[in-house]
Amino acid sequence: QDELMLVEYFRDQMKKDPDMASAVAAIRTLLEFLKRDKGETILGLRESLTSATDCLTGVDSSVAVSSGGELFLRFISLTSLEHQDLSRCKKVMEERGELFLEKISMSRTKVAKLCHTFIKDGAKILTHSYSRVVLRVLEKAAAEKKRFSVYVTESQPDAAGQHMAEALRKLNVPVTVVLDAAVGYVLEKVDLVIVGAEGVVESGGIINKIGTYQMALCSKAHNKPFYVVAESFKFVRLYPLNQQDVPDKFKYKADTLKTAKNLSEEHPIIDYTPPSLITLLFTDLGVLTPSAVSDELIKLYL
Amino acid sequence: MLSLIVSEGKDLTKEEKQRLRKEKKQQKKIKEKKDDKASQENEKEKKPVTSAAPASQPPTQPTPTKTKAELKAERRARQEAERASKQTKKGETGQQAATSKPKAPPSDLQPVVKRLPEHIQVDNPDVLKKLAKKLERQQIPLRSDYGYKVSLFSHLHQYSRKAPLTQQLSIPSTVIHPAIVRLGLQYSHGIVAGSNARSVALLHAFKQVIRDYTTPQNEELSRDLVNKLKPYISFLNQCRPLSASMGNAIKYIKKEISNIPSNCKEDEAKNKLLNCIESYINEKIILAGVAIAKCAIEKQKISDGDVILVYGCSSLVNHILCKAFEKNRKFRVIVVDSRPRLEGKEALRRLVQKGISCTYVLISAVSYILPEVSKVFLGAHALLANGYVMSRVGTSQIALVAKAFNVPVLVCCETYKFCDRVQTDSFVSNELDDPDDLIVTRKGTTPLEGWENESSLGLLNLVYDVTPPDFVDLVITELGMIPCTSVPVVLRVKNVDQ
């Protein structure tokens, strides 16, 4: 019963602000859950928050939701909870939660500020599917009066690339939609590749919409820089060695996981790009090389 | 000499002990100055005089004239030779004796030169002399190198197993504890091999030493015990060069010993030290192994249907595979082996005993079987600060071929094997094993039998090699899974903890 309320609230948040990352909506939901929670012990509170995160992952199986939830839990419990009174502890945790939310709402702006300088005047950019962070970066670059043109892949099966092209046309940026299969064809014309990420893993690699790995391989072959833009709450404690190693619960949509009988007949919606193919990662923690991601993760999680 | 009246059964107070120590230090300094002056005088005399006649005695010589003259003549001959070679390189270096300070800067204004360890400077006669002096002082025999060394590796020691160090020891040895003598022999004959086994054996031997130790009169346990351990460590180093993990263990013990408060009773102190060593073995080696196995299995690094390749015999990798098999994971193992050690046979024996299905190949077949392999698990001897993995020779070859076939390479290593050194190739610092191991008798003939007589033939038996971090995908430690490039972060965190 509690779960239904949770899911309702989550879906509401997503509907209210379509520009918000699903992870941020999840964290808002968890904060609300914390406020309404009537538990008696801190341990119980932590357990119920973990189960709430699991429940939300069941609704939206993206990596960012689970990583955001875990980071939220870590952030609020990182303070000293030595108060005798449980309600005081909860207040402290709620305040930390608000602080966390505030920090991450600023993260997209920070990333945009760091990244737009790498877009030179007259640049041709290739991007993949619909990413709100990349959109923000390109907005900032356009606001800085830079002239650039964008190639977007169609990104089937949901044609999210068309959505991205629409948003870019509104910014008066010349945009061309290309087939997913035309990435190798178009790469000789572009100067740089920028993609978003659904999750950044411990090795420094990323998990993103399917087709990203191909794009990264091709840009490596063409010696074009491959940039990734991601907020820090997307850092997740996974370490996949290859495509097969990514857990199934992230590869397919939540509904597919529940209804499909044979997963090997379903198409995965994400893939893993190893760190050797990535040039730089732009995060709100700074501009990082893939090997620095692990250092940042150690600082965040330990 | 400072004379103190010591009543029976009563130890000196702390201040008296300190005074005694200072006296001893001052006397040592005076003696060294005298020696220095003597050699200085010799050098000064050599400059104008080129004939071999010994000069007149400097007035401050305490020892008898006759032997001093002989020693002087010897020294002068050596110094002449060194002088000639040095002058071609860098000219006069002033009044420093060549043997006493080979690595100190020539003048105070120049930046301090970092000292290189002795065991990688075997071709430098100054360093050898310094080592000989040190060992003489500690009363440990010097082990001599054996056989022709390949020129690229002439800066490393090469010992023969047929001439163990213990043959040169007098019996009973008063300087070295028998447990350490036994350990040294076990090391040099390869009875105790593998970095975990060697470290654990070392710590057990040190525990025995501490149990049998009694503080002499007028000495403090924290200082004297450390000084007692130094000749043992030199002896073990002569038997077989110390590994990085052993080095870290020794550093830890020395730190613990010097942190013993001076007002601590001897029994208490000894108990404390024994407990420290016990907990070090438990935490850093045994529990770390358990944690690594758990991490590897829970994070699905060994899944059903996997074909895992292992090289040689790593206790940690074998432990992980056995644990995974107990948890009912279905996988099979390919054991790769290489001459002359053929350690893979031991790994094969352990795995087959558990019931794991194994295949055995030699390293020359690695590119043949790699298409079948899904993962490669490697053990490590040490992890260097720049992310390079130092392991048994052949490991970097396997990592290279695995990379070419796009097979993920996982290295399993406990954090106590992480060391501060930086190395990018396998030449700078390595170990040369007995070259006679390479001689093998097949079908009644031994082709390499008389290899010492061939002037242009050299046998090279390397023990370690260094794998760059690009070939390693993942390192599993008890702190979690980290990429190879994050080793300095772990070292930094560890130093902060300590």
pLDDT at position B497, please? 67
Task: Please report residues of B whose CB lies closer than 8 A to that of A239.
Answer: 299, 474, 481
3-state secondary structure of B480: strand
Q: Over 70: is that where the pLDDT of B433 sits?
A: yes
pLDDT at position A263, please? 75
Instruction: State whether residue A273 sits within 8 Å of chain B by CB.
Output: no
Instruction: State whether residue B58 sits within 8 Å of chain A by CB.
Output: no
Average pLDDT value for chain A: 86
For residue B11, the 8-state DSSP code is: P
Q: Are B253 and B230 in contact (CB under 8 A)?
A: no
Name which of A241, A291, A294 is nearest B473 (Cβ-Cβ): A241
Query: CA nearest B491: which of A243, A295, A296, A155?
Result: A295
Residue of B3 and A209 predicted with greater confidence: A209
Total Cβ atoms within 10 A of residue A79: 12
Residue of A38 and B97 predicted with greater confidence: A38
Distance CA A234, CA B330 (A): 33
pLDDT at position A62, please? 76
Element containing residue B424 per DSSP (H, E): none
Task: Please report residues of B whose CB lies closer than 8 A to that of A275.
Answer: 483
B62-66, B113-117, B179-183: segment of lowest average pLDDT: B62-66
At B264-279, the pLDDT tens digits run 888 888 999 999 999 9
pLDDT at position A80, please? 59
Q: Tokens 């357990």 sit at which residue?
A: A47
Instruction: State whether residue B404 sits within 8 Å of chain A by CB.
Output: no
Omega before B164 within 30 of 0, i.e. cis: no
Q: What is the ipTM of this complex?
A: 0.80
C-alpha B341 chain-centroid distance: 20
Instruction: State whether residue B160 sits within 8 Å of chain A by CB.
Output: no
Query: What percent of chain B clears pLDDT 90, i.e. is strictly above it?
Result: 37
- DSSP string for B57-78: PPTT--S-HHHHHHHHHHHHHH
Distance CA A20, CA A43 (A): 30
Distance CA A287, CA B467 (A): 28
The tokens describing B235, both together, are 């002896």
C-alpha A16 chain-centroid distance: 19
pLDDT at position B11, please? 52
Instruction: State whether residue B483 sits within 8 Å of chain A by CB.
Output: yes
pLDDT at position B104, please? 41
pLDDT at position A119, please? 92
Residue B141, judged by CB atoms within 10 A of its CB (0-12, 13-18, 19+), counts as middle
Query: CA nearest B20: which of B5, B2, B6, B8?
Result: B2
Q: Over 80: is that where the pLDDT of B70 sits?
A: no
Contact B474 A203 (CB under 8 A): yes
CA neighbours closer than 13 Å in the CB half-sphere of residue B157: 19
Banded pLDDT at B52 (limits 50, 70, 90): very low
Banded pLDDT at B285 (limits 50, 70, 90): very high
The tokens describing A55, both together, are 């429940």
Q: Over 50: is that where the pLDDT of B6 sits?
A: no
Q: How many CB pairs under 8 A join A and B?
A: 38
Distance CA B124, CA B132 (A): 13
In angstroms, the separation between the Cα of residue B484 and the nearest Cα of chain A is: 9
Q: Over 70: is that where the pLDDT of B48 sits?
A: no
Report CA torsion sign: B153, B154, B155, B160: positive
C-alpha A45 chain-centroid distance: 26
Distance CA B318, CA A291 (A): 29
pLDDT at position B36, please? 62
Task: Please report residues of B whose CB lies closer than 8 A to that of A295.
Answer: 486, 489
Cut 0.80: pTM above it = no
pLDDT per position in chain A (302 positions), as tens?
Answer: 677 888 888 888 888 877 777 788 888 888 888 888 777 777 777 888 888 888 888 777 778 888 888 888 777 776 656 666 777 777 887 888 888 888 887 888 899 999 989 999 999 999 999 998 999 999 999 999 999 999 999 988 888 999 999 999 999 999 999 999 999 999 999 999 999 999 999 889 999 999 999 999 999 999 999 999 998 888 888 899 989 888 888 888 777 777 777 777 788 889 999 999 999 999 988 999 998 888 887 776 65
Mutate to test the interface with A, among B295, B299, B303, B412 (most CBs of A within 10 A): B299
The set of residues, in sequence order, having a beta carbon less than 8 Å from that of B425 and lying 6+ positions away, is: B466
Query: What is the arrangement of strands in the sheet containing A192-196, beginning at the earlier edge strand?
Result: A175-178, A148-153, A123-128, A192-196, A226-229, A280-283, A286-288
Distance CA B177, CA B199 (A): 18
Banded pLDDT at B148 (limits 50, 70, 90): confident
Q: Are A123 and A152 in contact (CB under 8 A)?
A: no
pLDDT at position B454, please? 85
C-alpha B474 chain-centroid distance: 27
Contact B486 A204 (CB under 8 A): no
CA neighbours closer than 13 Å in the CB half-sphere of residue B460: 13
Task: Please report residues of A whose CB lies closer than 8 A to that of B415.
Answer: none
Query: What is the arrangement of strands in the sheet containing B382-383, beginning at the earlier edge strand?
Result: B382-383, B389-392, B464-467
Contact A275 B410 (CB under 8 A): no
Contact B485 A241 (CB under 8 A): no
Surface of B (431-470) touching A: CB under 8 A: 470
Instruction: State whether residue A185 sits within 8 Å of chain B by CB.
Output: no
Total Cβ atoms within 10 A of residue A23: 26
pLDDT at position B136, please? 82
Q: What is the mean pLDDT of residues B468-481?
A: 91
Phi/psi of residue B445, nearest 5 degrees: -115, 150
Query: CA nearest B158: which of B170, B138, B144, B171?
Result: B144
**Amino acid found at B171:** I
Mutate to test the interface with A, among B470, B482, B493 (most CBs of A within 10 A): B482
Query: Which chain A residue lies closest to B408 (C-alpha atoms)?
Result: A241
Instruction: State whether residue B493 sits within 8 Å of chain A by CB.
Output: yes
End-to-end CA, chain A: 34
3-state secondary structure of A178: strand
Query: CA nearest A171: which of A205, A202, A137, A221?
Result: A137
Q: What is the mean pLDDT of residues B285-298?
A: 93
Query: Which chain A residue lies closest to B491 (C-alpha atoms)?
Result: A295
pLDDT at position B38, please? 57
Surface of A (115-154) touching B: CB under 8 A: none
Q: Over 80: is that where the pLDDT of B13 sits?
A: no
